[in-house]
Amino acid sequence: MGQAENVQRIDLHALVPRFASLRMHDAPRLARLVASIEQQGQLMPVVAVPEADKAGPWVLIDGYRRREALQRLGQDQIWVDVWQHSVDEALLAALARGPDRPWEAIEEAALIAELSSRHSLQAIARKPGRDVSWVSRRLSLIKALPEDLLNQVRAGWISLWAATRILAPLARANAEHARILLSRLEHQPLSTRELKPDFPPRESAKPLATTGLDGNFGFHAGGYIVTCNRLSISSCSGVGVLF
């Protein structure tokens, strides 16, 4: 167990996973973590803070994947580094922990969105030593995506790149077509490598969507021209994009 401020071993059920919806699901990473904990035990404590200055339960700040791994292993206790901060102070500190404990961009965006309901962007930027423009750009990731797209990104079905560069522009142009493509991606997930274009986008292209008499539809998404068959995303193709 690594060095920490105040490490305690507590019951798993005493942790409140209040911010689980902000974190991304990564099945391969979770499987590797389960295997690691099964062989070596929990090497790093999770981070939690007391709920409203009480002795327990504790609000989980960081370590949601470790908590899930221990649950899958049938464990009933967990090592916790209990910070003596308020919940918001702890969230800001977690945002500032640096490259040794990186969060995904969409997780940072969700955390900033959570904090922005109670704090100014200037105050949020101050703790991790960022400027306000960085905080605004992260926040725009959340605001640009419909809730169903956000859920798919968090679930690991769609990459953030695909959501922001393909599906979000398409949704703005034609919501029906975006739902068709999203539905197909749910059943036939594609990697970012499969979605990325082979050459640079047309910067002059604007979001649009058209439907042909043959049932195909086409759109400019993030500067790319894409055509798809309504029945199968495997037939989608375009200038710069091959699905």
Could you tell me which of 146, 149, 111 has the C-alpha nearest to residue 130? 111
Residue the block writes with tokens 């979001």 = 207
Q: In the chain, what is the greatest distance between 2 CA atoms, to the nearest angstrom?
A: 66
CB 185 within 8 A of CB 241: no
The long-range contacts involving 195-199, CB below 8 angstroms and separated by at least 24 positions, are 195/159, 195/161, 195/162, 195/166, 195/241, 195/243, 196/161, 197/224, 197/240, 197/241, 197/242, 198/240, 198/242, 199/240
What span, in angstroms and rounded, lies between the C-alpha atoms of 79 and 99? 23
pLDDT at 161: 77
Torsion of CA 10, 14, 18, 24, to 10 degrees: 50
- DSSP code, position 165: I
SS3 content of the chain, % helix, strand, coil (to 5): 45, 20, 35
What span, in angstroms and rounded, lies between the C-alpha atoms of 162 and 185? 11
Domains and CATH numbers, the chain: 7-143 (3.90.1530.10), 147-239 (no CATH)
Amino acid making up residue 86? S
How many CB atoms neighbour CB 79 within 10 A?
20
pLDDT at 63: 93
pTM for this prediction: 0.69
pLDDT at 128: 82
Give the CA angle between residues 75, 81, 85 to the nearest 5°: 135
Give Rg (Cα) of the chain: 21
Backbone angles phi, psi at 116, to 5 degrees: -70, -15
pLDDT at 236: 45
pLDDT at 53: 61
pLDDT at 98: 62
pLDDT tens track, the chain, 243 positions: 544 568 999 999 999 999 998 888 888 899 999 999 999 999 999 999 998 766 668 999 999 999 999 999 999 999 999 998 999 999 998 888 765 566 788 888 889 999 999 999 999 999 888 899 999 988 887 887 778 778 877 877 777 777 777 777 777 777 777 777 777 777 766 666 665 553 344 443 344 444 443 444 444 444 444 545 443 444 444 333 333
